[in-house]
Amino acid sequence: MTRPVLVQGVTYHGSTPTSLGGLDNVFGKHISAEALRQHILWYKRRFNIAGLEETLRRARQGIKPPAKTLFIVFHDGYFGNYEIAFPILKEFGIKATFFLTTEFINGRFRFWVDQLDAALKHTGKSEITIMTPAGWQTYSLQDEKYRLEVALKLRRHLKALPVKEFTAELQQIVTELGFPALDDVPLLGKHETALNWDMIRQMSAAGMEFGSHTHHHLIIGRQTEATAREEMLISKALIEREVGRECELFCYPNGQYPSDGNDVTDAIAAELGYKHTLYMMGPYNLIHRKTFRLTGIAFGEESNERELHHKLSARRYYQRKLTGQWIWPWKKNSL
């Protein structure tokens, strides 16, 4: 393995029996069984689909990945990974890697974006007034189209806040929407629930791979070093205890370099025993024996074949390589 080999990566989140839209599926985060099947058929005609962990382990031993290797990963640990994605992957005889937010798997955590979308879905209020950088703003909630727009605005607003103000502001918004506390917001639906460790063990026994996606889905690059270390350490230990296999891969929530993960946090990951880290900055990776940092691109329910082709085209990769910008070519993805 003297020369680096191009390996491409694709990222998914949840999966659902039928197609969901609106507040149930902002940014197409949950892919339906039908769309997932179509995506995999499309990949199978063009790529060699292989497990990420297995590909990297072999690369470390100097074994070159086959030409046109593609890895598939799922972030977060939603129940649909077991209910929908797992049987489809088995049917096609392929492996994928699932990155678990371990406190979500333990059933003691909800993703704030899901809580926000669920509060907007279930609220009885017809409008909401919030403080924004432009002053007090009132937004209509009269139908789902408006509510979806508000969901996107509030995401941007909340993401821009410092860690300390974030929780208070999210709580304030939820109160404004008529729920006494965050815990009082009903679930979006079954698709918002998590995998459990039994499902994960079954999937692992069938060849699926598991890595860490932190304990509380914190944006690692914005935490103190102690918190970053703790998040990476606890989730690794839990996965190893529950799955009974070494947890070699760490995947950054939000996945942007250098804001969400960077050279400092990669060094912490290496120190804790992770063999590789994964970002979400595009599909292209040049793998060699010592490659540590990788990246995949996010696709969802709305991604059609044209998008897959456009974003995974090797011709674009070579063009970008020539212009020296090949490694982080894609727009920020806010899933």
| 78 Cβ contact list (under 8 Å, min separation 6) | 13, 14, 15, 30, 191, 192, 193, 194, 195
> What part of residues 277-316 is at the interface with Zn ion (CB under 5 A)?
none
Residue 231 in the binding site for Zn ion (CB under 5 A)? no
Q: Which stretch binds Zn ion (CB under 5 A): 74-82, 127-135, 184-192, 320-328?
A: 74-82
Q: Which stretch binds Zn ion (CB under 5 A): 53-61, 67-75, 115-123, 286-294?
A: 67-75
Least distance from C-beta 252 to Zn ion, angstroms?
8
Least distance from C-beta 320 to Zn ion, angstroms?
26
Residue 147 in the binding site for Zn ion (CB under 5 A)? no
Query: DSSP string spanning 111-126?
Result: -HHHHHHHHHHH---S
What single-letter amino acid sits at 234? Answer: I
Q: Which stretch binds Zn ion (CB under 5 A): 46-54, 112-120, 250-258, 326-334?
A: 250-258
Least distance from C-beta 74 to Zn ion, angstroms?
10
Quote the strand ranges of 259-318, DSSP E. 276-279, 284-287, 293-295, 297-298
Query: Of the candidates 39, 68, 12, 46, which has an alpha carbon nearest to the alpha carbon of residue 305?
Result: 39
Residue 76 in the binding site for Zn ion (CB under 5 A)? yes
User: What is the rounded distance in angstroms from the CA atom of residue 155 to the CA atom of residue 153?
Assistant: 5
Residue 253 in the binding site for Zn ion (CB under 5 A)? yes
Contact 73, 99 (CB under 8 A): yes
- Count interface residues toward Zn ion (CB under 5 A): 3
Least distance from C-beta 165 to Zn ion, angstroms?
22
Cβ distance to Zn ion smaller for residue 27 or 326 = 27
Q: Cα 273–278–279 angle (5° rounding)?
A: 140
Contact set with Zn ion (CB under 5 A): 75-76, 253
